[in-house]
Amino acid sequence: MRLLRLLLSALLAVFIVAPAFAQRTNSSPNHNVLTPAEATAGWRLLFDGDSLLGWRSFRKATVVADRWTVEDHCLHLYARSPERQVGGDLMTQELFGNFEFAFEWKAAPGVNSGVKYLVDEYLAPNRSPVSFEYQIQVEKDSAQPIRQPLHSTGALYDMLAPNGGVLRPDGAFNESRIVVRGALVEHWLNGEKLLEFNRQAPEFRELVAKSKFARWAGFGMNGRGHITLQDHGGEIYFRRLRVRDLPGNEDSQTLSAASRD
């Protein structure tokens, strides 16, 4: 009889505890899936929602960081703290040339981050990734922004300000896109195109020449590069990172050759 009571108690514990545990470990649905239309259009996921497969730390063979984690099916970067100190930019294993990259993100007020693309890993040997950057900037008070437009969300960091763009309320995920077709580049936010530029055009090369990027010969002219998620010390979440290859209107070899001129 005593053994029977013990068995019944164990079974009761399983039924009571197991659902609570499942709720804690699966507290949100996995949004990292493609719709049938996206799959037909050639999109593929760069993050499966459960692992860091396909990603590595900048100039490392694997992810070497305790601040980058996978939680609630998101890539979660913790803010720098005494408990979590090792971060750094997270980079795709793959290189991309003509492509469309779409991603969802959310960050608390005051967080500064960004997504860099067409990254040449060794363009600046003693620096973090130096390349084009889709700026992410969440003001502490949107009614009184302290950042200049060249550093606002959706900007081409330090070179082109976005034309428009509205962030969703705190706690909601925003949707961003970067489109690269050879020399032509676009930034989008929540369904709105914010800016476009031709990275080979003389007027754009003048912008580069007047920026802090002028010191690196061939900046922004490589035909292919990595995508990196920036660690700027603050907390941010990413999900639904997906990419599709695009036909280009410029030959990647032409862009690469131009970078050597």
Show the domains of the chain with their CATH numbers: 31-259 (2.60.120.560)
Distance between CA atoms of 182 and 247, rounded to whole angstroms?
8
Name which of 141, 189, 195, 150 is nearest 168 in CA terms: 189
Q: What angle do CA 170, 185, 146 make, to 5 degrees?
A: 35
Q: What does the pLDDT read at residue 4?
A: 44
Distance between CA atoms of 25 and 108, rounded to whole angstroms?
23
Q: What does the pLDDT read at residue 83?
A: 82
Query: For each of the chain's 261 residues, which pLDDT tens digit applies?
Result: 444 444 444 443 333 333 322 223 446 899 999 999 999 999 999 999 999 999 999 999 999 999 999 999 999 999 888 888 788 999 999 999 999 999 999 999 999 999 999 999 999 988 999 999 999 999 887 777 778 899 999 999 999 999 999 999 999 999 999 999 999 999 999 999 999 999 999 999 999 999 999 999 999 999 999 999 999 889 999 999 999 999 975 544 446 544 443
Q: What does the pLDDT read at residue 189?
A: 98
